């Protein structure tokens, strides 16, 4: 069971094939047409829509700890609330290239925009796995 970013890195390094991790950082936003109930829930930190604001791919060695990854994301100036992570397996001991990751990363962004998040690991701003319902 993966409950944190460090668990994810450890699991990715234990795979038979080298991995490339896909990251989509999202901000929680309240839709313009939100009801009063939805607005109140959002004020309590519940609900809202997740909007992708940053996406990047890295090998586990390029992002060995969450603090460095989060700091790099902050340098973009884009605030975020949750990051979704997926992994791609390489071949012959070589991780997929950034070029090979581009289409799956684009598909991941679109999937998240549509609310299809069950295939991804959501992490909070501290690198802990969260449950989104």
Query: pLDDT-based confidence at 68, cuts 50/70/90?
Result: very high
* pLDDT tens sequence across 24-53: 999 989 888 888 988 888 888 777 889 999
Q: Annotate 98-133 with DSSP letters as a single string.
A: HHHHHHHHHHHHHHHHTT--TTSEEE-TTSBB----
Q: What size, in residues, is the chain?
A: 133
Name 88's bridge partners.
Answer: 20
pLDDT value, residue 90: 95
Exposed (0-12), middle (13-18) or buried (19+): which is 97, by Cβ within 10 Å? exposed
Q: Residue 74 pLDDT more than 80?
A: yes
Please report, rounded to a whole number, the percentage of residues in the chain having pLDDT higher than 90.
79
Is the pLDDT higher at 108 or at 39? 108
Asked if residues 104 and 23 have their Cβ atoms less than 8 Å apart, the reply is no
Query: pLDDT-based confidence at 133, cuts 50/70/90?
Result: low
Query: pLDDT-based confidence at 132, cuts 50/70/90?
Result: confident
Residue 44 and residue 4: Cα distance in Å, rounded?
A: 24
Strand ranges, E, within the chain: 19-29, 49-58, 82-89, 121-123
**Backbone dihedral region for residue 14 (phi beyond 0: left; psi -120 to 50: alpha; all else: beta):** alpha
Asked if residues 66 and 6 have their Cβ atoms less than 8 Å apart, the reply is yes
Q: Where are the domains of the chain?
A: 5-123
Q: Residue 76 pLDDT more than 80?
A: yes
Among the residue ranges 16-25, 47-56, 80-89, the one predicted with the least confidence is 47-56
């Amino acid at each position: 069971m993966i409950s944190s970013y460090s668990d994810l890195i450890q699991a990715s390094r234990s795979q038979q094939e080298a991995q490339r991790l896909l990251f989509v950082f999202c901000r929680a936003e309240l839709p313009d047409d939100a009801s009063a109930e939805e607005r109140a829930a959002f004020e309590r930190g519940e609900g809202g829509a997740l909007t992708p604001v940053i996406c990047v791919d890295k090998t586990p060695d390029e992002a060995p700890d969450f603090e460095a990854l989060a700091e790099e994301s902050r340098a973009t100036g884009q605030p975020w609330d949750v990051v979704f992570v997926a992994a791609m397996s390489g071949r012959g001991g070589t991780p997929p290239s950034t070029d090979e990751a581009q289409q799956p990363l684009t598909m991941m962004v679109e999937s998240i925009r549509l609310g299809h998040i069950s295939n991804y690991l959501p992490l909070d701003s501290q690198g802990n796995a969260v449950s989104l319902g």
